[in-house]
Amino acid sequence: MAGTALFYHRIPNTTSLNLTNANAVARSYAMDLNASQSGVVGNTRFRGFLNTITINFTTLVTAASVVVTVCKDAAGDQPIGAFTINLQTGVTTSTSGGGSVKMDIGTYLTSPTVYFFFRTNAGTLTLTNCELTWTE
């Protein structure tokens, strides 16, 4: 029989962030969820599933995990969830690495932008890349 597929969207952010073990506005990303379909008229809202966050980092010192708090506002006062990414360190360069976490949030937002606030469990690292996958 015929198969059906989902529509997938990839929202990348490559702004470098120096993370510590505390959340702050300066250590957050604004993620425009409709960036991958900006040509669609009337996308002032968001309806979909926030599936997965992946990150990459360099210059790791001590940290074993990164906590991502997903918020509706830039101040970080309206969170919709927090997720822990256990870090995998690099094979060739042990201070580099990455990780991912499943969110699986089905949501309907009146604004298409969410804010990711990052902190380490301890120590520091430089976040070099974050990608969100969401599906319709």
Partner 1 sequence: MAALSRLKHKVIQTPNLGLTATYGTARAVQIPLFQGSSIVGNDARWSGVIESVVINYTTATGIASILSFLSRDAAGDAGLTQSLTTNVVTGTTTATSGCIRVNYDLTLSLAQTSLWLFLRTNAATCVVTSVEVTWRE
- For binding to partner 1 (CB under 8 A), which residues are involved? 1, 3-6, 8-10, 12, 51-52, 54, 56, 86-93, 96-100, 102, 131, 133, 135
Specify the residue, 76 or 127, whose C-beta has the smaller distance to partner 1: 127
CB of residue 22 to partner 1, shortest distance in Å? 23
CB of residue 39 to partner 1, shortest distance in Å? 17
Among candidate residues 22, 104, 118, the one with its CA nearest the CA of residue 70:
118
CB of residue 123 to partner 1, shortest distance in Å? 17
Six-digit token pair at 31? 């993620």
Specify the residue, 11 or 71, whose C-beta has the smaller distance to partner 1: 11
DSSP assignment letter at 58: E
Q: How far is CA 46 from the centre of its chain?
A: 16
Q: How far is CA 58 from the centre of its chain?
A: 17
Specify the residue, 43 or 89, whose C-beta has the smaller distance to partner 1: 89
